[in-house]
Structure 1
Amino acid sequence: MQSKTTIRDVARAADVSITAVSHALNGKGTLAAATRQRIIEAADRLGYQPDPLARGMRSGPLGVIGLMLRPLDTLGTYRPSGVDYFTRLTGAVAVECLERNLSVMLVRDLSKLPRPPLALALDGYIIADPLEADPVLDLLQDASLPFITIGRVPDRPAFTNWVGSGDGEDTVRILDLLRERGAERIALVTGCDRNSWNLESTAAYHQWAGERGLQARVVARPEADGMDGGRSAARELLRDGDLPDAVYCLTGRHARGILDEFTEHGISLPGQVQLVAGADSEQTRSSSPAISAIDLDPELVAAHAVEQLTSRVMIGKPAEPVALSTRLILRSTTAGPDHG
């Protein structure tokens, strides 16, 4: 069996000292940028994992779990304007851990170096919205670290250690609501991350439309584009002259951009187009008219995630999948009597 890569191996490959490797991977020292990058690339190439505590230097659990927010890893910022779901989720996870005398460590993308020194020595992880073929999950499995995900893992149908609401079920619920309120040409606007939220919502939409003989219209825009992405999606929906009479848009920032673009074109909401967002945000609440949206209830999600991780997954038992409910907040962009 091949032994694990050591810090000496990295130093030899990068032609530097062991101290230089330690400083480079921990973000310390005054190394030249080129030298630091060379060391990081060598460590990545060799698969070096700087986790001394995980190699037996501690005798028991740290009492710390990690939290990774994969959508923010891919977004390029951890402070997206108006998006409060992840702030609420983080705070709720912290409170649930405090109730169990545990601490929480927020961790960036573990698949990228340098990693925090203790990242692979924590007691377990909660991974929010993992990606398809997510390297983070492979890394955690290789390190024998227990984890639970918020949202299904797209390419691991047999993986059951997840909590969250049903993305496909929420999509059908919104489509049925819009149909009941008179919509016949419903478009779907999604993000581009390959996570279950986008993938399952799209699959459910196509199935729903096909079963009813309706034309499917899907527009995808990168999550990082925010409101500008929503404006771009709206222009695409307008381009062929066939205006949809309803739009289900997964992200709140995109939804606000759609509303603003339609309004500037003289299109009334909900008179001509109904609009529902798949995630509530500051943009959906403060718009005029205010946008109907789903409250994903991150506090409830956090409670179940921490409970399942600490009471089952970390002691080697599979999680018990729980179907979590979401709350639809009906505002001014949906027509008809308030119900649902």
Structure 2
Amino acid sequence: MTERVSIRDVAAAAEVSIGTVSRVLNGSGYASQAVRQRVQQAIARLGYEPDFTARHLRTGHSRTIGYLLPNIANPFLAIHLAEVEKLAQGAGYSLFIGSSERPARDKELVAFFENRRLEGIIASPSHEYEDPKSSPFGTTSLPTVIVDRDLGPGFDSVLVDHCQGMRKVMEYLLALGHRRVALFASGPRLRPGREKLRGYRAALEDAGFAFDERLVHLSESWLESSREPMRRMLRLEAPPTAIIAVGTQLLSGAVHVVREAGMDIPRDMSVVGIGTLETLELMYPPVTALRYNFHQSASAAVQLILQRIEKVAPPHARTVVIQSDLILGASCGAV
């Protein structure tokens, strides 16, 4: 059996004291850049892995945050996770990631985070609880920040203003003369889908146009294709002249059907994608996009959780609302 590399071995390899290695690992106290580099090189060369349990017993702090999300394969969640991890590491914290798509798994992961003595939780669960206070997030003693979910007023939250973002898009398309706009978004059981639909309907109502539920497809899975719903919409007596779609299979499927029907973008169909420029960059012509500000959302989530962990947050729950930007491309035109 290979012997575990100790902090003493790292100190000897880097020609520094054990205390210096500890300061570099914990991100506390002074160590010159040259010394830090020597210690980090020794850690990499020896394959040293810190004993987090021992460190917690010694310092009382694991300097680790749990991140709970539904599915790491979802490109939007993966981008947000990468931003959170970068910002947490910059503050001297590690991230422990758990994936959950059902309430029982939420409970298991929260218990696991507690048992591993993590210091806080950032969560974007796949389920919104009827009674948030009895949810695992409402009963845990760990500081918790909820991202883009409606779990009630008792939590620190970072929310995207999907409603206002959708209104921006609809007002833009209505100004181009579009009256029949297809919407492909996430399902109404979670906040993002509900808020997008609310903004869509409000913009139509304000402009004096009727809402047609046949032009709306709300999916329960980001992997679901929109091809058949798009085909049904094109067969309507008054088919859509514009599409708004989340930039996953929902957007690509709808666009595929449009092109399959021999239609041109933007001459015959205007298209607006929702997401990030990275997830939409392969589309041609360059797509007009409602862009999520994942860096702002991640920065707010990390700031809120660190303030709770470091006990400098106010006693009341706080909510940070993130706006989305409408970036004009070449995929929209007048009717």
Work out whether the TM-score is over 0.5.
yes
Q: Deviations over 1:204-257 (max 9, x none)?
A: 22222223332323222332434xx12122112113232111122234331111
Give the structure 1 partner of residue 282 of structure 2: 286
Query: Unaligned 5+ residue runs, structure 1?
Result: 1-52, 73-77
Give the structure 2 partner of residue 322 of structure 1: 320
Question: What secondary structure does 2:99 align onto?
Answer: coil
The equivalent position to 2:206 in structure 1, one of 207, 211, 217, is 211
The equivalent position to 2:138 in structure 1, one of 125, 138, 141, is 141
Question: What secondary structure does 1:278 align onto?
Answer: strand
CA distance in 2, matches of 1:145, 1:187: 42
CA distance in 1, matches of 2:323, 2:257: 32
Partner AA of 1:64 in structure 2: T
Give the structure 1 partner of residue 244 of structure 2: 248
Question: What secondary structure does 1:111 align onto?
Answer: helix
Partner AA of 1:65 in structure 2: I
State the 1:325 CA deviation. Answer: 3.0
The equivalent position to 2:305 in structure 1, one of 281, 285, 309, is 309
Normalised to the residue count of structure 1, the TM-score between the two structures is 0.70
CA distance in 2, matches of 1:270, 1:255: 15
Specify whether residues 114 and 207 from structure 1 end up closer, same or farther in structure 2 by C-alpha distance, changes over 3 A only: closer
Q: Deviations over 1:145-170 (max 9, x none)?
A: 221112141x62x3451113311010
Partner AA of 1:189 in structure 2: F
Give the structure 1 partner of residue 332 of structure 2: 334
CA distance in 1, matches of 2:279, 2:226: 12
CA distance in 2, matches of 1:168, 1:151: 12
Q: Deviations over 1:99-151 (max 9, x none)?
A: 22111110122732865974223211111265322799811222222211121
Within 5 Å, give how 1:141-290 maps onto structure 2.
141-153=138-150, 156=152, 158-159=153-154, 161-192=156-187, 194-216=189-211, 217-226=215-224, 229-280=225-276, 284-290=280-286
Normalised to the residue count of structure 2, the TM-score between the two structures is 0.71
From the CA coordinates, give the structure whose radius of gyration is larger: 2
Q: Does 1:111 align with 2:108?
A: no
Q: Does 1:79 align with 2:84?
A: no
Specify whether residues 238 and 189 from structure 1 end up closer, same or farther in structure 2 by C-alpha distance, changes over 3 A only: same
CA distance in 1, matches of 2:244, 2:139: 39
Specify whether residues 280 and 223 from structure 1 end up closer, same or farther in structure 2 by C-alpha distance, changes over 3 A only: farther
CA distance in 2, matches of 1:218, 1:301: 27
Q: CA RMSD in A?
A: 3.0
8 Å contact kept, 1:246–1:273:
yes
Q: Does 1:91 align with 2:61?
A: no
Q: Does 1:299 align with 2:295?
A: yes
State the identity as a percent: 18
CA distance in 1, matches of 2:132, 2:247: 24
Give the structure 1 partner of residue 10 of structure 2: none
Partner AA of 1:111 in structure 2: A
Query: Unaligned 5+ residue runs, structure 2?
Result: 1-52
CA distance in 2, matches of 1:193, 1:61: 39
CA distance in 1, matches of 2:159, 2:83: 14
Specify whether residues 164 and 194 from structure 1 end up closer, same or farther in structure 2 by C-alpha distance, changes over 3 A only: same
Q: How many residues of Structure 1 are paired with residues of Structure 2 in the alignment?
A: 269
CA distance in 1, matches of 2:168, 2:184: 16
8 Å contact kept, 2:183–2:217:
yes
Give the structure 1 partner of residue 64 of structure 2: 64
